[in-house]
Amino acid sequence: MIRIRPFQPEDWPALWAFMEPVFRAGETYAVPRDITEQDAHRMWIELPRSVRVAVDGHGTPLGTYYLKANQAGPGDHVANCGYIVAPAARGQGVAARLCEDSLALARELGFSAMQYNLVVSTNETAVRLWQAHGFAIAGTLAGAFRHPALGPVDAHVMYRRL
């Protein structure tokens, strides 16, 4: 039983516990691998327009996403989101639920499109999941991501209208 609700400040330690290893691994996010907890908090919680959290029946956080405008001014009708699912909660459809929730929220906030700027091509589960949620690969950036094991790999810009 997964529920998605707004972020509350007391969620942070649980979120950081599963976000930190993802950033440290450096395989999926264009975030410094040595990012501090404070900078991660600023990036994920303070700067975006909305942050939501998926919780199980006991209220335990399973994943989170942020939503913000991808560009300013005449580009601020295009939303951008980032999603992280706790490793222990993978394979339960949490990312799909987060994505669906974010599309609904973006519409509700008046956005008319959503863009992911850098989907690492080797993260095939993510690429397929976003495609299943209506995103197309708008373009592929050759070698735009330095994978810690594979070296430079391609990254996709993914986009959909809302």
Asked whether position 150 contacts its own copies by CB under 8 A, the answer is no
Q: Which stretch binds its own copies (CB under 8 A): 2-10, 12-20, 29-37, 101-109?
A: 29-37
The one-letter code for the residue type at 28 is: T
Asked whether position 65 contacts its own copies by CB under 8 A, the answer is no
Cα 121 to Cα 141: distance, rounded to the nearest angstrom: 9
Asked whether position 140 contacts its own copies by CB under 8 A, the answer is yes
Nearer to its own copies, 96 or 137 (CB): 137
Shortest distance in whole angstroms from residue 15 CB to its own copies: 19
Reduce the DSSP state of residue 60 to 3 states and report it.
coil
Interface with its own copies (CB under 8 A), residue from 14, 22, 96, 141: 141
Q: Which stretch binds its own copies (CB under 8 A): 48-56, 87-95, 122-130, 154-162?
A: 154-162
Q: Which long-range contacts (CB under 8 A, 24 or more apart) does 12-16 make?
A: 12/41, 12/45, 14/60, 14/61, 15/44, 15/53, 15/61, 15/64, 15/84, 16/40, 16/41
**Structure token digits, residue 136:** 């197309």
**Structure token digits, residue 49:** 């327009």
Q: Give the N- to C-terminal CA distance of the chain in Å, as an integer.
A: 27
Q: Which stretch binds its own copies (CB under 8 A): 14-22, 46-54, 108-116, 123-131?
A: 108-116
Nearer to its own copies, 30 or 88 (CB): 30
Interface with its own copies (CB under 8 A), residue from 20, 37, 46, 76: 76
Asked whether position 155 contacts its own copies by CB under 8 A, the answer is yes
**Structure token digits, residue 145:** 């991501």
